Amino acid sequence: MKKQLKVLALMLGVAGLATSAAHAQDKVKIGFITDMSSLYADVEGKNGAVAIQMAIDDFGGKVLGMPIELLTADHQNKADIAASKAREWIDTQGLTMLFGGTNSGTALASAKVAAEKKRVYINNGAASSALTNDQCTPYTVHYAYDTVALAKGTGSAIVDGGGKSWYFLTADYAFGHALEADTTAVVKAKGGNVVGAVRHPLNASDFSSFLLQAQNSKAQILGLANAGGDTINSIKAAKEFGIGKSMKLAGLLIFISDVHSLGLRNTEGLQFTTSWYWDLNDETRKFSARFFEKTKRMPTEIQAADYSATMNYLKAVEAAKSVDADKVMTTWRGMKMNDFFGSGQLRADGRYVHDMYLMEVKKPAESTKPWDYYKLIKKLPGDSVFTTKAESKCPLWK
């Protein structure tokens, strides 16, 4: 009798689980896993969640009659945490779609989980071009920028300006390696050469030693293949050791939060490529003012992309009349997108092709208002800066 009771209880329990999973389909759950507390927290972080929530609210809070809920988590730059959180949300919370955040290592890991479980996966924060190249999936949308665009934009501009010999200071993980490799390819294709590279651990606090090695290489250009806190510390130390006297710094990935932290004195003249800037036109300024009201900071390109991608995703869901990942992706690839972030289309490999901008940091005298940091050098058409079909190893893009 006791055994039968146990079996009955077990069956009820399992039935209960099944029903709760079924109930989860009544809500559209958007997941957001990014670095919330470490070196990349300012480039996306919790304000990225603010941007996504703004988009959800502006869309009306509901899609296809279902309320939209935002789940957030901190992956602490650890791929295993990102992957297991994604898996947990999909398996137990009925997650509909996932935003993978900064850090290419975690991005590649969580993209795999999303593909395995057939969920739409959008990434704005991570840079590695591998997301839409050899590691492309039918569900990955790489929205804002990637290492190829950064390399082609900044690398070309600097080599054209006379910077032929390069030395790289590279963050020793997926992102740094990708950025170094992509930029090396561009430099070599234009007749330049790479004298050497030094790989530093992610989130290193002291760059003096690596910078001295760079200086000893006698290269013309120091390519900073790192981001966020690492870039800030590299630039600060470079100033201290007078690296600028013998080498020119090339910031391969610069965010407005970096410039804000370092100040124009330390960053003036830096040339870099970005997907968006808050002061480009009236539309960008309108969004940025609203964002500033909530967060007291101007949005970075990633945070703007988080808003824009959410909006376009929800529009795609509405057009597809379904949250099923395959249907949404097919519909989304057929949509022409145009908003304050950019205009263009999703490619078969998951890459959002839109214009990029080559910027230069203003001198302190040229800045007329708070956060007035960049001047536009030129617009880079999307087709000229992202991976071309010939260069792509993605089996989905033939």
Binding site for another protein (CB under 8 A): 37-39, 41-42, 45, 172, 198-201, 203-206, 208-210, 212-213, 216, 228-229, 232-233, 236, 240-242, 257-258, 260-263, 266, 297
Residue 145 vs 255, nearer CB to another protein: 255
Residues recorded for the chain: 398
- Three-class secondary structure assignment of 222-235: EEEECCHHHHHHHH
Shortest reach from residue 295's CB to another protein, in Å: 10
Of 197 and 346, the one with the shorter C-beta distance to another protein is: 197
Work out how close the CB of 353 gets to another protein at its nearest, in angstroms, rounded to a whole number: 30
Identity of the residue, 230 or 306, whose beta carbon is nearer to another protein in the bound complex: 230
Distance CA 154, CA 301 (A): 16
CB of 304 to another protein, least distance (A): 18
CB of 41 to another protein, least distance (A): 4
Cβ 216 to another protein, closest distance in Å? Answer: 6
CA dihedral sign, ordered 338, 379, 154, 266 = negative
Residue 43 CB contacts under 8 Å (≥ 6 apart), including other chains: 102, 125, 227, 228, 255, 257, 258, 300, 302
Cα-based distances in Å from 172 to 180, 197, 199: 10, 11, 5
Alpha helices in 250-300 (DSSP H): 256-262, 264-267, 282-295
Closest contact distance (angstroms) between CB of 70 and another protein is 19
Nearer to another protein, 205 or 281 (CB): 205
CA distance 115 to 217: 43
- In the complex with another protein, the residue whose CB is nearer, 37 or 193, is 37
Q: Which of 125, 128, 168 is nearest to 148 (CA)?
A: 128
Q: CB-wise, 138 or 244, nearer to another protein?
A: 244
Provide the minimum distance between the beta carbon of 150 and another protein in the complex, in angstroms, as a whole number.
19
Q: Which residue, 184 or 392, is less far from another protein as judged by CB?
A: 184
CB of 185 to another protein, least distance (A): 22
Q: For another protein, which is the closer residue by CB, 100 or 228?
A: 228
**199/244 Cα distance (integer angstroms):** 20
Residues 6+ apart with CB under 8 A from 351: 132, 142, 146, 386, 387
Look up residue 395 and give its DSSP letter.
Answer: T
- Give the C-alpha separation, 160 to 271, whole Å: 13
| Dist CA 234 CA 374 (whole Å) | 20
Q: Say which amino acid occupies 197.
A: A
